Amino acid sequence: MEEFDGTVPVPILDEILLCIGAGPVIQVTNPAFIEETAALAAAGKNRWKKEKKTVHVRSGTKLPPRTIQQTNQSYMVASQVMRRTEDRISTPTASLLNGILNGDTSVTEQTNISSSGAPAPAATPGSGVTSTTADHHQNPPPPADVWSIVYELHKTTPQILTTVIGAVASSLRFPTPRHVCG
């Protein structure tokens, strides 16, 4: 970050913020699931060759879960970068997020961060399913939305969001309180 004379370029901020928006925990393909399904397929193929009939999967075979949770290392690195360079990166980050939240076309055309119509629920940030590195190039994950990034930044470096809060506040909705008659 110190190498940039002027402001930090949007593509650099994108990379850091997309990692932050993914959250501290990700879902990855379970190697045990792949091994078990490969073993079942091989057993079925061998049985089919011997019997020359339709393969029937053994009933009662319980497969391991398709995905497992894992610490998101890119999130850890990105949050450390944000903390260590907070004085240098806070203004460009806030400008980028404000531009996205306000729908500024000069900003939204430069970034891969999407701006959805409503804030994401608190339980969803960081719960996206990601694939292995080989699959990542064939099926890239959808772009992170600005709400999951703001949520995760609030947990890691809330000081950066000082000027963003105004744009966020206009999109927050509270349920109408019910009046109870006594």
Decide: 23 and 148 in contact? Cβ < 8 Å. yes
Answer whether residue 55 shows pLDDT above 60. no
Residue type, 62: K
126 in the same domain as 72: yes
Q: Which of 48, 64, 80 is the endpoint of a domain?
A: 64
CB atoms within 10 A of CB 6: 6
pLDDT of residue 96: 92
How many whole angstroms separate alpha carbon 128 and alpha carbon 53? 41
Residue 141 forms part of a structural domain: yes
Per-residue pLDDT band at 18 (split at 50, 70, 90): very high
pLDDT of residue 61: 67
Per-residue pLDDT band at 177 (split at 50, 70, 90): low
pLDDT of residue 87: 87
For residue 134, what are its two tokens? 């080989």
Q: Lowest mean pLDDT: which of 11-15, 35-39, 140-144, 157-161?
A: 140-144
pLDDT in tens, 112-138: 888 775 444 443 444 443 434 444 444
SS3 per-residue string spanning the chain: CCCCCCCCCHHHHHHHHHHHHCCCEEEEECHHHHHHHHHHHHHHHHHHHHHCCCCCCCCCCCCCCCEEEEECHHHHHHHHHHHHCHHHHHHHHHHHHHHHHCCCHHHHCCCCCECCCCCCCCCCCCCCECCCHHHHHHCCCCCCEHHHHHHHHHHHCHHHHCCCHHHHHCCCCCCCCCCCCC
73 in the same domain as 150: yes
60 in the same domain as 111: no
Q: What residues make up the domain containing 122?
A: 10-29+67-169
Q: Name the residue with higher pLDDT: 34 or 120.
A: 34
pLDDT in tens, 75-92: 999 999 999 998 889 999
pLDDT of residue 174: 60
Q: Name the residue with higher pLDDT: 130 or 9.
A: 9
147 in the same domain as 97: yes
Domain count, the chain: 2
How many whole angstroms separate alpha carbon 151 and alpha carbon 122? 8
pLDDT of residue 180: 60
156 in the same domain as 102: yes
